[in-house]
């Protein structure tokens, strides 16, 4: 009987060894496929990053090229346009402050400047120096402001909104026609 037991053990040991061999080859195969997948993922990442970097570089180069082209007349035109917009914003702010003060009390340029600066700080938390003279000149040119002498000083009196609307509409229509 001992003989039969050995024979039975030998085939079962062979099966175990064979299973170990198959497990080793399976784990090697998993390892190989994992390494292969890592290589593919790393390659895809490198390709993606290089395309992204090249895309940013092309965008940057195109932007610089366009700015270089616009460095002549385009830049001057942009600066003039921005300056003109700023001038009208200052005039609108001054007009609103003067309207708020009302025509019942005399508002002088220095108090209008202070009120504009205070408004900008209260609303935007930015300290600015309001060029009230430029704003007054713009409003005078547009006929939206009247200067009136009060006690030896020049008071600023805004035209009421309805009249200002009519004046601006007539001015606009004269440009269009």
- Would residue 69 count as lying in a domain? no
93 is a domain residue: yes
Residue 144 lies in a domain: yes
- Please check whether residue 115 lies inside any domain of the structure: yes
Domain range holding 156?
Answer: 87-176
CATH number of the domain where residue 97 is located? 1.10.10.10
What pLDDT was estimated at residue 104? 64
Give residue for tokens 């290089």: 50
* pLDDT of 33: 75
Pick out the chain residues at pLDDT < 70: 1-30, 56, 63-79, 103-104
CA distance 140 to 33: 82
Please state, in angstroms and rounded to a whole number, the distance separating the CA atoms of residues 139 and 157: 11
Task: Determine, yes or no, domain membership for 26.
Answer: no
Q: pLDDT value at position 142?
A: 92
Q: What is the pLDDT of residue 74?
A: 65
Residue 159 DSSP label: P
Those residues whose C-beta lies under 8 Å from the C-beta of residue 103, and which sit 6 or more positions away, are 157, 158, 160
Is residue 118 situated within a structural domain? yes
Looking at residue 23, its pLDDT comes to 55
- Judge whether 101 lies within some domain: yes
Q: What is the DSSP letter of 72?
A: T
What's the number of domains the chain is made of?
1
Q: At what angle do helices 109-124 and 73-101 cross, to 10 degrees?
A: 110
Overall pTM surpassing 0.85 (yes/no)? no
| Among the listed residues 104, 99, 107, 90, the one whose alpha carbon sits nearest the alpha carbon of residue 158 | 99
Q: What is the model's pLDDT at position 71? A: 59
* Per-residue confidence (pLDDT) for residue 27, from 0 to 100: 65
pLDDT of res. 136: 93
* CB neighbour burial string for 3-22, b if at least 16 within 10 angstroms, e if fewer: eeeeeeeeeeeeeeeeeeee
């Amino acid at each position: 009987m001992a003989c039969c037991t050995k024979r039975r053990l030998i085939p079962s040991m062979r099966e175990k060894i064979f299973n170990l061999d198959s497990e080793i080859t399976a784990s090697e195969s998993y390892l190989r496929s994992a390494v292969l997948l890592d290589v593919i993922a790393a390659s895809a990442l490198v390709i993606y990053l290089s395309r992204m970097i090249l895309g940013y570089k092309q965008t940057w180069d195109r932007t610089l090229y366009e700015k270089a082209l616009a460095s002549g007349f385009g830049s001057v035109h942009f600066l003039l346009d921005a300056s003109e917009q700023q001038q009208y914003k200052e005039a609108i702010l001054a007009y609103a402050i003067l309207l708020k003060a009302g025509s019942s009390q005399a508002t002088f340029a220095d108090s209008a400047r202070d009120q504009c600066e205070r408004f900008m700080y209260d609303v935007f938390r930015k300290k600015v120096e309001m060029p009230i003279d430029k704003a007054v000149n713009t409003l005078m040119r547009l006929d939206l402001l009247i200067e009136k002498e009060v006690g030896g000083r020049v008071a600023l009196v805004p035209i009421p909104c309805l009249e200002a609307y009519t004046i601006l509409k007539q001015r606009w229509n004269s440009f269009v026609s």
